[in-house]
């Protein structure tokens, strides 16, 4: 679900042809089923024979004009009900935004979202888990960290771009995942049985946003960080490492992520 979104376009480029049944609200190139995912009969028919439903659909802040953030819960409910109808597990694209400013967030910590998007994703998770428990559907919420190239720094860079700089000279540090690694991790998770109800998705280590821009050769200015700015926000990856093994999760490297983005960006634009 959500083949026309940024992650959906990435997966269509990186996965083998025929690896999935793709859904979009609008016509795309290739074999993509075009229908509204909130239309239950169409969604259930498309999901017949599938063991997993991956829901990537949902409004993105700053990219979806007039978006209703409650659609995250509506789309998750549609996925869970389809999963109940066809006997499939459901994986939902959530976000590290559900943790707010927690510096080292684990999946079993209370959620403390600090913005409307994070609140909407947290509500989506709770609603989907409750409905899944009632309908007998296993639900895994994928709490994805910053995606290099789809983020506010590397992906959002424009001439005149400015970052916060803290007293120790650093720019904001976050958990990141590169594009190819994300496609590989999601593909591997779809083959796993007995996934937990929540799973952090990122590569080990933190990346400075300034380091990403420098690796890309993008000029940027800095300003003194306000008191409300958070120097570092990271994700605990113990669960993900235990599931997939360390070989699928190379340490985060700004230069590798930038090269990955530079190679894939033209293909992603063509797919769009």
- Answering whether pTM is above 0.85, one says yes
pLDDT at 16: 85
- Cβ atoms of 230 and 102 within 8 Å: the answer is no
Classified as helix, coil or strand, 110 is: coil
Confidence label for 272 from pLDDT (cuts 50, 70 and 90):
very low
Tell me, what's the pLDDT at 269?
60
Give CA–CA dist 66/42, Å, rounded.
25
pLDDT of 152-175, one tens digit each? 999 999 999 999 999 999 999 999
Residue with tokens 């997939």: 244
Interval 193-241: pLDDT, tens: 989 999 999 999 999 999 999 999 999 999 999 988 889 989 999 999 9
* Helices (H), ranges, the chain: 6-14, 40-47, 71-86, 116-135, 179-189, 209-216, 238-244, 254-271
């Amino acid at each position: 679900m959500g083949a026309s979104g940024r992650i959906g376009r990435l997966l269509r480029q990186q996965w083998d042809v025929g690896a999935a049944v793709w859904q979009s609200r609008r016509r795309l190139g290739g074999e993509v089923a075009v229908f509204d995912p909130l239309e239950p009969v169409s969604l259930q028919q498309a999901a017949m024979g599938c063991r997993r439903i991956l829901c990537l659909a949902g409004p993105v802040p700053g990219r979806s004009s007039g978006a209703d953030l409650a659609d995250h819960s509506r789309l998750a409910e549609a996925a869970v009900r389809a999963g109940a109808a066809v006997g499939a597990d459901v994986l939902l694209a959530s976000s590290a935004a559900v943790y707010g400013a927690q510096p080292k967030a684990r999946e079993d910590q209370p959620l403390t979202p600090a913005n409307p998007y994070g609140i909407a994703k947290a509500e989506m998770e709770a609603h989907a888990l409750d409905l899944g428990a009632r309908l007998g559907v296993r639900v895994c919420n994928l709490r994805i960290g910053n995606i290099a190239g789809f983020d506010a720094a590397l992906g959002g860079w424009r001439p005149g771009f400015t970052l916060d700089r803290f007293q120790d000279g650093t720019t904001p540090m976050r958990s990141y995942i590169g594009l190819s690694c994300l496609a590989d991790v999601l593909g591997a998770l779809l083959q796993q049985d007995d996934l937990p109800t929540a799973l952090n998705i990122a590569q080990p280590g933190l990346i400075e946003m300034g380091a990403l821009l420098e690796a890309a050769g993008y000029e940027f200015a800095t300003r003194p960080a306000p008191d409300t700015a958070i120097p570092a926000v990271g994700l605990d990856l113990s669960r993900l490492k235990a599931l997939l093994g360390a070989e699928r999760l190379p340490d985060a490297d700004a230069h590798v992520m930038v090269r990955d983005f530079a190679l894939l960006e033209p293909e992603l634009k063509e797919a769009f």
